[in-house]
Chain A
Amino acid sequence: MIKELIFYSFSSVLICSSLAVVLFRNPVYSAVSLILSFITSGFLWLLLEAEFLAIVLILVYVGAVMVLFLFVIMMLNINKETEKSSFNSVAPFAVFIGLIIVAELITIIWINSSQFSTSSTVIQQSSQMGNTLLLGTELFTNYILDFEIAGFILLLAIIVAISLTLRPRKNLKTQVASEQINVDPKKRMKLVDLKETK
């Protein structure tokens, strides 16, 4: 019973904060609402016994990604509210189609519900083995290559982000190591034959 209570309260908060992300005019408010969404979904994930991912979501997303978002918003100084309406001309149509999509998704879920195993059959997993340990074991055994690739992707993202935003300063005095190494001593000095003057 307590689970249902937690679920419904958190999910209503989640839905509201998600709507707030979309509806706020000020992007800073949107970002803060998104943080709230992440936190509530983290709680809901805890309910599904995905403790590690819930923690990671809050740490990585709220701690890093959302900070990055806020950082960019502040840096670009676009937090001023626009006077015009925040919705464009196709908004009513988009909302209408969005509602259709929700209806369709829910229909599909309920049509297929006969194939789902009911929650009562869920076997409680061993409390000895923590979720983090299980996940770690899986990741470093069966999914080791994927894990490496994920790491590589992150490295790539770092390089890309830097190279995209890097603006080399003009008139910067730098040393070019390769040119220094490849210096040819013969080109350093020019010997000029001077005729003897009488």
Chain B
Amino acid sequence: MLYQLSVLALVVPLIGGILAGFLGKTTGKTFTNTVTIFSVLASFLISSYILYTILNQPDLIFNQNIYRWLEIGSYSFNIGLLIDNLTASMMVVVTFISLMVHIYSIGYMHDDPGYHRFFSYISLFTFAMLSLVMANNFLQLFFGWEAVGVMSYLLIGFWFTKESAIKANFKAFIINRVGDMFLLLGIALLFSLSGSLDYSTVFSSGPMINNQLFFITENLSVSALTLACILLFGGAMGKSAQMPLHVWLPDSMEGPTPISALIHAATMVTAGVFMLARMSPLFELSESALSFVLIIGSITAITTGLLGLVQFDIKRVIAYSTLSQLGYMVVAAGVSAYSASLFHLMTHAFFKALLFLAAGSVIVALHHEQDIRNMGGLRKRLPVTYTTSLIGTLALIGFPGFSGFFSKDALIEAVAHSTVYAHEFAYYCVLIGVFVTSLYSFRLLFIVFHGPLSEHNNNVQEPQLSIVLPLILLSIPSVFVAWPTVGPMVFDSFFSNSIVQPTSIELFGYEFTDSLHFLTHALSGPVTYIAISGIGVAYLFYIKQPEIPNKLALTFKPIYKLLREKYYFDYLYENILAKFFSSLGNSLWNLGDIKFIDNYIVNGTARKIESLSNKAQLLQSGYIYHYALMMMLGLSVFLGWVIINKIGMAS
């Protein structure tokens, strides 16, 4: 029963996407959105039922191969499903956010000529993410990974007539390719050492792999498992946009807003964090890999948050906040608190989807205006959007009582109690990160919704129901979802059958009793006060004395410039790496391909034959006596041969 249901949950969005894609143009908008929304709704309901079943039957792990895809020698590659608590909860989150985005898109994309295309893409995106989440082997993980990449490429470049969108989707694809290369190498390394792609086989041979040394040079060696973990994390860095490979995410804002919500909240970027949690049996064996993860995560958390302070595009601010929050999740994985990481992933999915959709609502209301300098005082005009944005922002900064509070607090608690190398650095990073988060979040909120209402925004109205409804639906879990779930998911053994991690006492140094107690316990820590001080500073800067930020920008001009230029990452990639590689490629192309292969081998052969035949043609004079002369020559040679033969026989 579970088997059929889970296959159904996986396949239904695929069918919906295909139907919408192929029939959408002829059958109209109503058919398109009905078929996709119902398919995703069905998938969501089934996922919920699966989660419910699993909750009622602890220790139930459903791991089955559906069919054998390929068999080479003793290796077999299967397509299979692995349903456990991790998968089930991810499925619910993914399908719920996807459902919200679908409903939202009815209104948001209403006048777009690519309406059916859009719905087809987001349904397929959901399918891709589900297949990634439900995989029971690396092969299927990689399929989902790449499918998600392809769909994100298509969706970021959805408005393909816009040049910036094309550049952005190209960038996202290329940067993801770098990460995917690492992932593929990691999978290959694990496969070569364990001889299988199944999670269970690979995990059980983890200690064996850990003992194998991988020689980089004669004297420098590293544990093969550490190397594999770092390579896998390289893949996660691409998808989850960690520091050196984060540049695609802000640019992906070129896509329609629902897509931003889907990519940032539920599907694409969480894939890396999900994989880290899924690979926990391997990562737990290698402390070096965990430290690497921790350092990358904490750098991402703090630096990208700072970038959010200087952006003026409403969606880009939220994008940088996503980057920062992803850094938090990776940090949590780095200190082995996978459950906290996943919990933050879940709460973040809700409130970040909420924030994006709210931003989209503002954008729709202002007729596709995205620059926050042209906004202000929208509070009265867009009450629902304002309220839901406020809820999302409070949840994001971790205001006590909101879902983000629980997840972030548990996460920081875990960092504080960690003993992994570089945990102190990570701790200060995340604490400063909390301040920065609340600063940029409220900066956005204050600039957009408070202050004077500008003239041309006087007639702004709340958008239609299909846009507002998902906001309301999403704000409910943004506030409350953590209350009942924080205990079992973070502190209890909810994930114990899918994730390997230390016990909660070890991890958090805190005995959980109930959510309220956790709340009061957390208030004794510094996190909440830092967040509130961030609100205060934001209030001071952007409501009371709006001239301060400009003064600061002028005073610390180099730093401001550094932030505006996004640490020169784009500059570095574009002008140094890309130039180097394109010149390398060009020179290889010119030298190897054109000069050697084309010119010498391919055309050279033809030219040689042509010149030879031109020479041979000179023999053909067309005069009879020339041919006769040749016959004479042949005759004399033949006779000479006869004579020599004769003399040879005689002697």
> What is the interface of chain A, defined by CB distance below 8 A to chain B?
88, 90, 93-94, 97-98, 100-101, 104-105, 107-108, 111-112
Residue from the list B629, B632, B646 in contact with A112, Cβ < 8 A? B646
Docked Cα-Cα span, A112 to B633, in Å, equals 23
Docked Cα-Cα span, A112 to B642, in Å, equals 11
Is there an interface contact between A111 and B629, defined as CB atoms closer than 8 Å?
A: no
Docked Cα-Cα span, A101 to B631, in Å, equals 12
Residue from the list B626, B639, B650 in contact with A101, Cβ < 8 A? B639
Residue from the list B625, B635, B643 in contact with A107, Cβ < 8 A? B643
CB distance from B622 to the nearest CB of A (A): 13
Is there an interface contact between B646 and A94, defined as CB atoms closer than 8 Å?
A: no
Docked Cα-Cα span, A98 to B625, in Å, equals 14
Q: Which residues of A contact B646 (CB under 8 A)?
A: 108, 111-112
Docked Cα-Cα span, A164 to B324, in Å, equals 99
Is there an interface contact between A101 and B629, defined as CB atoms closer than 8 Å?
A: no
Docked Cα-Cα span, A108 to B650, in Å, equals 13
Residue from the list B626, B635, B640, B647 in contact with A111, Cβ < 8 A? B647
Nearest to A91 among chain B residues (CB) is B625
Apart from A90-B625, A93-B629, what 9 extra A-B contacts exist at CB < 8 Å?
A88-B623, A97-B632, A100-B636, A101-B635, A101-B639, A104-B639, A108-B643, A111-B643, A111-B650
16 pairs of residues in contact across A and B, judged by CB atoms under 8 Å: A88-B625, A90-B625, A97-B632, A97-B633, A97-B636, A100-B636, A101-B632, A101-B636, A104-B639, A104-B642, A104-B643, A105-B639, A107-B643, A108-B646, A111-B646, A112-B646
Is there an interface contact between B639 and A90, defined as CB atoms closer than 8 Å?
A: no
Q: Which residues of A contact B643 (CB under 8 A)?
A: 104, 107-108, 111
**Chain A interface, DSSP helix/strand/loop, else mixed:** helix
Considering only residues 614-651 of chain B, those with a C-beta below 8 Å from chain A are 623, 625-626, 629, 632-633, 635-636, 639-640, 642-643, 646-647, 650
Docked Cα-Cα span, A51 to B415, in Å, equals 129
Is there an interface contact between A108 and B647, defined as CB atoms closer than 8 Å?
A: no
CB distance from B621 to the nearest CB of A (A): 10
Q: Which residues of B contact A105 (CB under 8 A)?
A: 639
Number of residues of chain B lying within 8 A (CB) of chain A: 15
Q: Which residues of A contact B629 (CB under 8 A)?
A: 90, 93-94, 97
Number of A-B contacts (CB under 8 A): 35
Docked Cα-Cα span, A98 to B635, in Å, equals 10
Q: Which residues of A contact B633 (CB under 8 A)?
A: 97
Is there an interface contact between A94 and B642, defined as CB atoms closer than 8 Å?
A: no
Docked Cα-Cα span, A106 to B639, in Å, equals 11
Q: Which residues of B contact A104 (CB under 8 A)?
A: 636, 639-640, 642-643
Q: Which residues of B contact A107 (CB under 8 A)?
A: 643
CB distance from B197 to the nearest CB of A (A): 78
Docked Cα-Cα span, A31 to B623, in Å, equals 23
CB distance from B627 to the nearest CB of A (A): 11
Docked Cα-Cα span, A12 to B623, in Å, equals 33
Q: Which residues of A contact B632 (CB under 8 A)?
A: 94, 97-98, 101
Docked Cα-Cα span, A104 to B643, in Å, equals 7
Docked Cα-Cα span, A50 to B138, in Å, equals 101
CB distance from A93 to the nearest CB of B (A): 7
CB distance from A76 to the nearest CB of B (A): 18
Nearest to B650 among chain A residues (CB) is A111
Q: Which residues of B contact A93 (CB under 8 A)?
A: 629
Docked Cα-Cα span, A44 to B635, in Å, equals 27
Q: Which residues of B contact A94 (CB under 8 A)?
A: 625, 629, 632
B 392-412 to A, binary, CB cutoff 8 A, 1 in contact else 0: 000000000000000000000
Q: Which residues of B contact A100 (CB under 8 A)?
A: 636
Docked Cα-Cα span, A88 to B625, in Å, equals 9
CB distance from B631 to the nearest CB of A (A): 10
Docked Cα-Cα span, A105 to B636, in Å, equals 9
CB distance from A69 to the nearest CB of B (A): 18
CB distance from B620 to the nearest CB of A (A): 15
Nearest to B643 among chain A residues (CB) is A107
Q: Which residues of A contact B623 (CB under 8 A)?
A: 88
Docked Cα-Cα span, A30 to B640, in Å, equals 32
| Closest 9 pairs (CB-CB, A-B) | A104-B639, A97-B632, A100-B636, A101-B636, A111-B646, A97-B636, A90-B629, A107-B643, A94-B629
Is there an interface contact between A108 and B639, defined as CB atoms closer than 8 Å?
A: yes
Docked Cα-Cα span, A117 to B70, in Å, equals 85
Nearest to B633 among chain A residues (CB) is A97
CB distance from A127 to the nearest CB of B (A): 39
